[in-house]
Amino acid sequence: MQSTTNRRVFSKEEWEKKLSQVQVDRRDLNLLVMNYLVVEGYKDAAEKFSEETGLDPGVDLKSIAERMAIRTAVQRGEIDKAVELVNDVNPLILDSNPSLFFHLQLQKLIELIRQGDIEQALKFAQEELAPKGEENPSFLEELERVMALLAFEDRTSSPVGYLLQQSQRQKTASELNQAILTSLAQEKDPRLPSLLKTLLWAQEQLKSKAIFPEMDITTGVLSDPPKE
């Protein structure tokens, strides 16, 4: 069926019929799930999933436990502990990655500011971070952004208040997690998000050529095709 704009129109029934003809291997699905659990560090879930599906996780689950301990430490704001744990896994990770190490130290500075230990924060910024900022203009910019927190009474509502949110800890934790995975020669990005991105992009591209029921990626449910 053709629309008035010459785009092909698919009804929901027609679309669902076409989808049902596509074969997807269960093993491939399981691999995707396992990949996500391993990369994101869900050790217990990966273990259980491995037991139930018979799939080999492909990595040492103990290494997942180590990564998760590090991630948890960052998410709790325990940066010194996270650094110690990373150095136990592989001390070269931080030593060979000045940018990552700087971001961890910045996170430590944020935690000191969050705790209200301003004197310690200033001392830490002066002794540890300022010298690095002098060597690298991009580091200096990031340091200045964090130091801007000190200029506001109500830090959480300030323009740089986002630095105090959990999402900032999450960002630092993810960066660290990826570096650890890279050092272990493992994939640092799970495949599932890429797959979803491809799906969304393909739907956008197809919209210019056809009218069809779009899939909501959060629910997996097909909507009714839009009317022209």
Partner 1 sequence: MDETIGTGSLCLESEATDTLKETVKRIKNLCVGHPAKKQAYIKQGIIPTLLKLIDRRDSELTWQICGTIGILANNNVAGAEQVASNSGLCTLLSLLSSDDERLVKQASLCILGALKSVERPAKIFLENIQLLESVCSLFCNPFASASLRECTCFILTSCLENAESEQIVDWFRISNFCFEKLKSCNLRDPRTLTPYLNVLKSLTMRNREIGKQFIEHNFVELLVEVMKGVDMTLKVIACRLYTNLMNFSLLQEDQASKDTAVIIMPLLNRMLSNRDRNIQLEGCKMLTQVVAIAEIYQQQAFDCNLVHCLIELGHNINISDVEAACILLQAVAAVCSLVEECRRLVIESRLFSLVVNSLDTSYPELRIAGLSALRSLSRSVRNLRASLAEAVLMEPLLRSLSDENKQVQIQALSTVCNLVLYFSPLKNSFLESNGLTTLLNLCHSNDKSLKYYAVWALKNLLFLSGSKMKKRIIDEIGMDYIFCLIEKGEDYSFQEQGINLLRNLTCTFSIECERENILDFIDEHCYRLVLCIQDSLQSPCMEVVLQALYVVCNFVVGSERHKQAICNSKIPKLLLNFLTNPSYLIRIATIWCIINLIWKETNDINDVSNLADYRRARIASFMEMGYEEMLEGLLADSNVEVRGRAEMALQLLRDRTISDFGDENDYEQVSRGILL
Binding site for partner 1 (CB under 8 A): 58, 83-84, 87-88, 90-92, 94-96, 98, 101-102, 105, 185
C-beta of 217: minimal distance to partner 1 in Å? 24
Q: Give the integer Cα–Cα distance in Å for 57 and 46.
A: 7
C-beta of 31: minimal distance to partner 1 in Å? 9
C-beta of 58: minimal distance to partner 1 in Å? 7
How far, CA to CA in Å, does 194 sit from each of 27, 42, 65, 176?
A: 18, 19, 25, 20
For the chain, strand residue ranges (E) read: 8-9, 210-211
Q: Give the integer Cα–Cα distance in Å for 212 and 11.
A: 7
Residue 184 or 192: the one with the smaller Cβ distance to partner 1 is 184
For residues 77 and 61, is the Cβ–Cβ distance under 8 A?
no
Q: Give the integer Cα–Cα distance in Å for 69 and 90.
A: 14
Query: H helices within 96-220, ranges in order?
Result: 98-115, 118-124, 130-135, 137-147, 166-183, 191-207
Residue 100 or 164: the one with the smaller Cβ distance to partner 1 is 100
C-beta of 191: minimal distance to partner 1 in Å? 12
Residue 13 or 135: the one with the smaller Cβ distance to partner 1 is 135
Residue 8 or 197: the one with the smaller Cβ distance to partner 1 is 197
Residue 67 or 155: the one with the smaller Cβ distance to partner 1 is 67
Half-sphere exposure of 122 (CA within 13 A, CB side): 5
Q: Give the integer Cα–Cα distance in Å for 227 and 7.
A: 12
For residues 187 and 35, is the Cβ–Cβ distance under 8 A?
yes
Q: Give the integer Cα–Cα distance in Å for 193 and 70.
A: 23
C-beta of 133: minimal distance to partner 1 in Å? 14
C-beta of 17: minimal distance to partner 1 in Å? 33
Residue 44 or 88: the one with the smaller Cβ distance to partner 1 is 88
Residue 98 or 159: the one with the smaller Cβ distance to partner 1 is 98
C-beta of 132: minimal distance to partner 1 in Å? 9
